Amino acid sequence: MRYFVNDSCIGCGMCAGTCPEIFSMTDEGVAKAKDGDVPAELEDSALRACEECPVGAIEEV
Ligand code: SF4
């Protein structure tokens, strides 16, 4: 499982707070997901961030 942040991101920072191992904020003020598969131990928190994004900007790819 891996994630992608699309152009809908409004930069609220929630995902980076919920799962900082996978999501971080760029200098442009939007989120990005780490490249590569999410390690098994981080799947729950990464999924929570995906589900709780207020604008649905996090896609599973
Ligand atoms: S939770 Fe959604 S809107 Fe907020 S920073 Fe993350 S991707 Fe962007």
Q: Give the pLDDT of residue 52.
A: 97
CA distance linking residue 29 with residue 35, whole number of Å:
18
Give per-residue pLDDT as tens, 30-53. Answer: 999 999 999 999 999 999 999 999
CA distance linking residue 26 with residue 29, whole number of Å:
5
17 phi and psi angles, rounded to 5 deg: -80, -35
Which tokens go with 11?
């930069």
pLDDT band at 20 (very low <50, low <70, confident <90, very high): very high
CA distance linking residue 17 with residue 25, whole number of Å:
10
Number of domains observed in the structure of the chain? 1
The CATH number of residue 33's host domain is 3.30.70.20
Helices (H), the chain: 14-18, 43-52
Q: Give the pLDDT of residue 36.
A: 94
Residues with CB under 6 A from ligand 1: 5, 9-15, 31, 53-55, 57-58
Distance 30 CA to ligand 1 centre (A): 7
Give per-residue pLDDT as tens, 2-17. Answer: 999 999 999 999 999 9
Q: Give the pLDDT of residue 28.
A: 97
The whole model's pTM is what? 0.96
Residue ranges making up the domain that contains 15: 3-60
